[in-house]
Amino acid sequence: MTDDLANLSIAMTARSINPDLRIVLRAGDGRIANETRSLFRIGLVRDVHRVAAVLIAAMATGSSATRVVCRGDDTHLLHDE
């Protein structure tokens, strides 16, 4: 079992014991995170690789963005004024 699948298995077990438990889960593969949404109400899912890629791409192209904010499934760049 991969680490991502092991993390998911543990989270699902914990959720079955306590449905109100707040779970922070590391699932490195975006595919696994996306598939997890269909398995149970996972709540908020963030693909940290995508978030980092957005900021790195902005910095590499000369953007003045300094932060990334996620709203829903969208990733937005913030610029200091």
Q: 30 and 56 share a domain?
A: no
Q: How many domains would you assign to the chain?
A: 2
Could you report the per-residue pLDDT of 52-71, keeping only the tens digit for each?
A: 889 999 999 999 898 898 88
What is the residue range of 69's domain?
47-81
7-57 pLDDT, tens digit each:
878 888 988 899 888 887 766 656 666 666 666 666 677 777 888 889 999
Residues 6+ apart with CB under 8 A from 5: 32
For residues 24 and 60, membership in a common domain is answered with no
Task: State whether 62 and 37 are in the same domain.
Answer: no
Query: What pLDDT, on a 0 to 100 scale, did the predictor assign at position 56?
Result: 93
Same domain, 41 and 53: no
> How big is the CA angle at 49 (ends 54 and 39), to the nearest 5 degrees?
125
Q: Indicate whether this model's pTM tops 0.85.
A: no
Instruction: Give the span between the Cα atoms of 25 and 28, in whole angstroms.
Output: 9
CA distance 78 to 67: 5
Do 59 and 29 fall within a single domain?
Answer: no
